[in-house]
Amino acid sequence: MKTNLKKELTKQWFKNLQEIICSNVEELEKNKIFFKAKKWSRNTNKNDGGGEFRLLENGKIFDKVGVNFSEVYGKFSNDLKGKIPGTEKNSNFWASGISIVMHMKNPHVPAMHFNTRYIHTSFGWFGGGMDITPCIEDKNLEKWYHKEIKLSCDKHNKKYYKKYKKECDEYFYLSHRKEARGIGGIFFDYKKENWEKDFNFVRDVGITFKKIFSEIINKKNNKSWTKKEKEIQYLKRGRYVEFNLLYDRG
């Protein structure tokens, strides 16, 4: 398959998934609060791509949800040339993806994070994953959540779940506190074995995330909560920010 077609198919999927996720979130909010969309450019002086960021705030279920689609391209700086796979001889790149962060009003509903991307330098690869961050422990939820991810992974390769769960556990870890950010999920990068199979897997990861966050909200959102539980949620949210500032490669 030609490189340009691979780029177009992945870009279109990420845009479609943005629509699917945003529609689902608005349906959960009973269509009484909506996303605000803002288009952005990577560089206003050059045609280096951009994307669209959608934000929903102060809902009955969601405190804040951000759903960002991007398609960017250009040349890496000389500092990065050779450090990014496939740029040893040529610093050109193209990248597209979708990233999602959900913070909930009810402390019984975990914060949730998802992203998938396709990057092309002199060759292309997929990366991404999902993880959730509960502030109130629920072993039944944790067991169900990991079972759903494993079922999705197993449809593609029986080795994926164990491998990508381990990568997620190692990545989403606050080493200065010696604690995990949440209860993990899956995380993968430099996935380039077979484009068609990898693309099918990446699409399945997106659909699985939609199913997971919808079911968790339907199960958990009507539970009553206390002021103390809300304070625990704010503390856990601070851990989330710590990770993004200190460890997140993005």
**Cα Rg of the chain (Å, integer):** 18
Non-local (6+) Cβ contacts of 125 within 8 A are: 85, 118, 119, 189, 190, 191, 192
DSSP 159-222: THHHHHHHHHHHHSEETTTTEESSS-EEEEEEE-S-HHHHHHHHHHHHHHHHHHHHHHHHHHTT
Residue 246, CB-side half-sphere exposure with 13 Å CA sphere:
14
CB distance 106 to 225 below 8 Å: yes
**Residues acting as catalytic residues:** 113
CA 55 to chain centre: 15
